[in-house]
Structure 1
């Protein structure tokens, strides 16, 4: 239930409002009977005052301990109002005299004491002020309001504006107290942690304002000839009584006090000054020396207070400007410096490079295998390593050189005036220093880096320079990492050609430019066709037939191999299903499809394989997924994909077996069914003893582990015979056939054997 809903249903609030409406109705019904109206007025005050006293006392028990003194004084004020108005009610009932809404001496004293209690409660309440300056400004504002109230009281007491009379003395005191109470209550409503929510504070503030307005009402509003005069006079009592009860509803609902943003200035003192000067000028036409003496002193005091407040404001402005200047300087530094390493950032490095009018060299430095450190030791360790690298880079360069962190583990160095030889020396020094062990979180790390170097001439575009250095840096990584490489135009041309190739690959699938050819795999015992390996070809519209050696590595680097491999998988399964349908009674033909490492790490691969099999009605045993050893080496995602593929029932073959460093370990962990001996061990197997020994070992391991063994690259009958004698069950190579279109495989199957295609 919302706060407003609770307030609308609270019985006490409804009773207070209902009782006040009843009094207003009686004022109207008793129009013309002034004495009875005055009796109702004073009688109606008492329960409203009692509600203020009791509500404040209840809040003293319910509210937080820091608010108890405040609510105690509010309750005391309500008790004073109750006692004074009760005495005045008895007076008008027992001895009515002349009807008047101004209380007697007892009521005036008790009202003054109660209002003073309210004012003191508001003024001594903790304002959330912490510094001496904040406290000084607050009390300067408070003194200004108090002095203004004193001037108003003096003007009304000594030189009444609306005519002489004893009631004006009471009204002057009332006006001064009301103005001060308005200021004090408003201050409490605006502090950061107020004793009451705004919805409860503003009725009490409004009560003081209405009381002040009623004091200054001219003419008919000061006579008792109209019922609305009583309504206006009674309204403040209702408003001030509502505040504590509204706050009780909020406290009982469990809603915490909402902090209020406190402004660095307040308009209330300036409003009080305006009121003071207005009243001062109103009394000038009938001024006397005694009147002017007190009023002038008050105005002078207020003027001095205002001057002091302005001095504080001027000082604040000066401090603000000073802080703003410092903040701007700090922002300028932050805008040009990397926050982690303190080096120049990318934007600042670009500016310095553009302003380099002497020429020189630019080095782009990328840490090798930094991701491994981040993944195994955490980002904090990675940050510590970057800070250490930044320190070593500063030590490795010359005075006047600019070191920058471009982002991540990428750094750049600007060497003004350096030639390529000088840049090479700096690059060597950087590599030497980075190769020294670094202690990171009690671990010793030996970092390496690949560096690309490019020449800088005046007027060069910084982005172009970084692009050239980036090309050289990746060339260094391609050559083995841990070295520096200078950029050449040939590198740029190659990268440009590769960029064109990447764009064309993106449209090759859409335009159906790829095709598959198939190389037979035969059983060595009888040389019958038992399987094929699907090999992709790119029929480029302008270049003609593009070798896989040219576009497959590019596709793997860019991730385009995933979409290309998905197409090849679907097409190979489709063609296998066609062959199966052509000769339903023939020996099943196994189709091998190459899958790259990037594809193995694709979460959709297993689903793609399952969809290709089911969509073409192809048994899983007719499909062989061929992967290289490096694709599954120490890769959990790839290993999980291999297990999932094996569960589908497809065959798994390790292609180019024997060329990686951990082949034996893979045989124990990878769920393969076939080993394909790499062609490099076959080409000289009849003349080189070591190759024959390796081929023999692979065959024996395959037999022991119950794997199928396939020898690739067989081109002669002598190689065929030797490999068959070594125990290889299957062979593949130009001796039987080059990769051919699907129609040729159909012919070979119909003939029942693989026809030799090599002279």
Structure 2
């Protein structure tokens, strides 16, 4: 239901309006019976005043703590009005005297106290002014209005024409208080964070204005001969009572205060100056000389011209400030939102997370980190424009998948985040499932149908968590989802955090391992199966950790590839292997080849080819003595890696396709990669004597190598039976524990020198 709908159905508001309408009907029904009209007037005042008092007291309990003092003083003012009007009503009913709408001494005192309480409440209410200049301008305007009201009161109180009677003095005091109250209430209604919404404030402002108009009406409108005089005098009491009850309806409905944009200048002081001049002319004696009158008019005209010129300048400045505010808003918008998807950006998302954590002391809520799977393929194959179109569509679907109060953000690239305030693990899981469901719906881009998948990491907020911790935990869970096969969501656990923490320590230690000479190379012989003589070795890296001992390559190589540290480690291994190969060539007769493993990340390094050329040149090593070993997955559908292999082959080095047969596109690679050797993966060797399928694969690889005039190496040979079978299948070279485990460089010299039977070796 809308605010206006609630107001129309509120019983208190209906009762207040109904009571006032009943009084108005009685005023007209009792026309000519002035005493009864006066009694109705004072009796009707009391419930309206009580409604103001009780409404203010209720708001003191319902409103924000910073508004409580304001509403306490409004309630006190209503109580004063009720007390004074009750005394006057009783007096009118019991001892009426002459009918009059002017209160007696008691009523006048209570009215003055109540009006003063209203004025003070408005004046002491925080105006939201932060700078010294803003406070100075506000109090300059306030003083102008207060002085103007004082001048009006002074003129009416001591004007000789008025005769200085008590009624005129009372009217002048009332007029001054009403003018000040009008100014104060208007100020409260226009501050940026007001105690009440405008719909509630303006009835109270209008009450003061109507009261002031009633005070200054000509004599014919002041007499009690006309019923409408009673209506005009009763209307302010209704209006001022409506304000608190309207605000109560708004507060109970849960609607927040809407900040009011502060105007750069106020017209109130200029209006008060105009009123002062009007009163001044009214007070001029009839015998004023023409010279004095002309001078006075000149002063007034000049003042009005200066004020007009100043208002024009204010208006121009206001337009400039408006354009500046618009520009600032655009800048803030660009600083807070992503330009492509219009989602919150990383900075703004962090601020929203921080605010949410501060509001929710229990730490409830969840954060999702979403990364599109294989988004790079779309950019590479369809162009960045298509990628941007997809990102916009993903943003739309994410908004549709979350709840109304959730926050969706684009952190950058194809990475999104969602803040779920107050969400339990079950709710977070349902949101994740809905996100994956919506993203999986096909989308049409450039006449192509694309099905988007994503990996989602979820973390629950806990007391004391900060935004960076939550994003980090969600990131860990998201990478775990990718590791498990993509297209799924995974919730963060402490075990994941412990594993990542251990990896982080390993990453930091790898940064210094090269400088501390903690890496070393061991070498596994490669023998010619026809005569079992060693023709080369494969270099394998080892990490001799100072406290943990030997760290397995299976533990640190995947981490090094993911972080990019493999480039520096691989560069060191290449140089060390070439240095050792050159040393061996000077000691050992005959051709001898050293194989060095190169990861996919290294193949995409633009310095790789130059590094290989430099290592060969520095060590005076012939290119044919070096074999670069790469896996199928490292070059699969990667033009950049394939170009690097072509350049390496141009240097004259050998290229071996390692672990051949394990990837999905091995046959296609043979047509694009300039390899010289195929190395059969050990998984096809371990049961080659007993499993027919493995024997068939091994046979096919040998035949392909022979047909393409490529060298063939079988890895993982551990028995004489495996050696004999592979030799019979046509494999040229073998490698495995049957001849030797990976050994230090000195042992290679010994093995090469022996050149005896495998059993003796």
Q: Tell me the TM-score range normalised by the shorter chain.
A: 0.5 to 0.7
Structure 2 residue 418 is matched with structure 1 residue 413:
yes
Distance 1:669 1:743 in 2: 38
Aligned mates of 1:322, 1:622 — CA distance in 2: 75
1:525 corresponding residue in structure 2: 530
Worse-matched range after superposition: 541-550 or 387-396: 387-396
Quick check: which has more Rg, 1 or 2? 1
Q: What does residue 356 of structure 1 align with?
A: 360
2:697, 2:647 → 1: CA distance?
A: 31
Is 1:723 aligned to 2:726, yes or no?
Answer: yes
| One of 437, 443, 454 as aligned partner of 2:442 | 437
Distance across 1 between alignment mates of 2:324 and 2:360:
32
Provide the residue aligned with 1:317 in structure 2: 317
2:459 aligned residue: 454
Aligned-partner Cα distance in 2 for 1:708–1:728: 8
1: distance between equivalents of 2:608 and 2:322?
62
Q: Deviations over 1:312-337 (max 9, x none)?
A: 11322344455556666666655544
| Superimposed CA distance per residue, residues 710-754 of structure 1 (whole angstroms, 9 cap, x where no aligned partner) | 000000000000000000011000001000111111011111247
Q: What is the CA distance between 1:637 and its match in structure 2?
A: 1.6
* Pairs within 5 Å for 1:163-242: none
Q: Which residue of structure 1 aligns with residue 223 of structure 2?
A: none
1:338 corresponds to: 338
Residue 746 of structure 2 is matched in structure 1 by: 743
- Aligned pairs (5 A) from 1:228-307: none
Match of 2:474 in 1: 469
Alignment partners' CA distance in 2, 1:302 and 1:368: 75
1:503-541 per-residue CA deviation (whole Å, 9 max, x = no partner) reads 111111001111111101111111111111111111110
Instruction: Measure, in 1, the Cα distance between the counterparts of 2:622 and 2:591.
Output: 10
Equivalent-residue separation in structure 2 for 1:443 and 1:299 (angstroms): 80
Matches for 1:83-98 after TM superposition, within 5 Å: none
8 Å Cα contact 1:520/1:531 also seen in 2: yes
Conservation of the 8 A alpha-carbon contact between 1:364 and 1:411: yes
**Which of 594, 600, 603 is the equivalent residue of 1:600?**
603
Could you say which residue in structure 2 is the equivalent of 1:711?
Answer: 714
Contact 1:596 1:627 survives alignment (8 Å): yes
Shift of 1:561: 1.0
Query: CA offsets, 1:36-91, max 9 Å, x none?
Result: xxxxxxxxxxxxxxxxxxxxxxxxxxxxxxxxxxxxxxxxxxxxxxxxxxxxxxxx
In the alignment, which residue of structure 2 is the partner of 1:366? 371
- CA apart distance, 1:491: 0.6
Does the 8 A contact of 1:521 with 1:531 survive in 2? Answer: yes
Structure 1 range deviating more: 455-464 or 679-688: 455-464
Structure 2 residue runs without a partner (length 5+) = 1-294
1:631 paired to 2:639: no
Deviation sequence 1:206-245 (CA, Å, 0-9, x none): xxxxxxxxxxxxxxxxxxxxxxxxxxxxxxxxxxxxxxxx
| Structure 1: tracts of 5 or more residues without a match | 1-294
Deviation of 1:339 after TM superposition, in Å, equals 3.5
Aligned: 1:574 with 2:579: yes
8 Å contact from structure 2 (residues 719, 738) kept in 1: yes
Cα distance between partner residues in 2 of 1:493 and 1:503: 15
1:112 corresponding residue in structure 2: none
Deviations 1:655-704 (A, max 9, x none): 00001111111111111111000000000000000000000000001011
Write out aligned runs for 1:592-671 (5 A). 592-671=595-674
- 1:392 partnered with 2:372: no
Tell me the SS of whatever aligns to 1:515: strand
| SS in structure 1 at match of 2:460 | strand
Give the distance between the partners of 2:499 and 2:699, measured in 1 at CA: 42
Classify 1:612/1:314 alpha carbon distance in 2 versus 1 (closer, same or farther; 3 Å): closer
Does the 8 Å CA contact 1:626/1:652 hold for their aligned counterparts?
A: yes
Distance 2:300 2:556 in 1: 91
- TM-score (normalised: structure 2): 0.58
Structure 1 length-normalised TM: 0.58
- C-alpha distance in 2 between matches for 1:757 and 1:593: 28
SS in 2 for 1:617: coil
Evaluate the alpha carbon distance shift between residue 407 and residue 617 of structure 1 in structure 2; reply closer, same or farther with a 3 A threshold.
closer
Q: Work out the CA distance in 2 between the residues paired with 1:318 and 1:701.
A: 82
- What secondary structure sits across from 2:534 in the alignment? strand
- Name the CA distance, whole Å, in 2 between partners of 1:668 and 1:337: 48
Q: Compared with structure 1, are the counterparts of its residues 716 and 350 closer, same or farther at alpha carbon in structure 2 (3 Å cutoff)?
A: same
Distance 1:415 1:530 in 2: 63
Separation in 2 of the partners of 1:424 and 1:514? 44
| Residue pair 1:737, 1:755 contacting (<8 A) in 2 also | no
Instruction: For residue 297 of structure 1, report the CA deviation from its aligned partner.
Output: 13
> Relative to structure 1, is the Cα distance of residues 613 and 339 closer, same or farther in structure 2, using a 3 angstrom cutoff?
closer
SS where residue 537 of structure 1 aligns? strand
- Give the direction of change, closer, same or farther, for the CA distance of 1:703–1:330 in structure 2 (3 Å limit): closer
Label 1:416 to 1:757 Cα distance change in 2 as closer, same or farther (>3 A): farther
Deviates more, 1:642-651 or 1:306-315: 306-315
C-alpha displacement at 1:571, in angstroms? 1.1
Residues 1:441 and 1:570: Cα distance change in structure 2 (over 3 Å): same
Distance in 1 between the 2:322 and 2:516 partners? 66
Say if 1:333 and 1:597 are closer, same or farther in 2 by CA, change over 3 A. closer
> Given the superposition, is the C-alpha separation of residues 587 and 396 from structure 1 closer, same or farther in structure 2, using an over 3 Å criterion?
same
- Per the alignment, in what secondary structure is the counterpart of residue 727 of structure 1? coil
SS of the residue corresponding to residue 543 of structure 2 reads: strand
Indicate the residue corresponding to 2:548 in structure 1: 543
Distance 2:437 2:541 in 1: 45
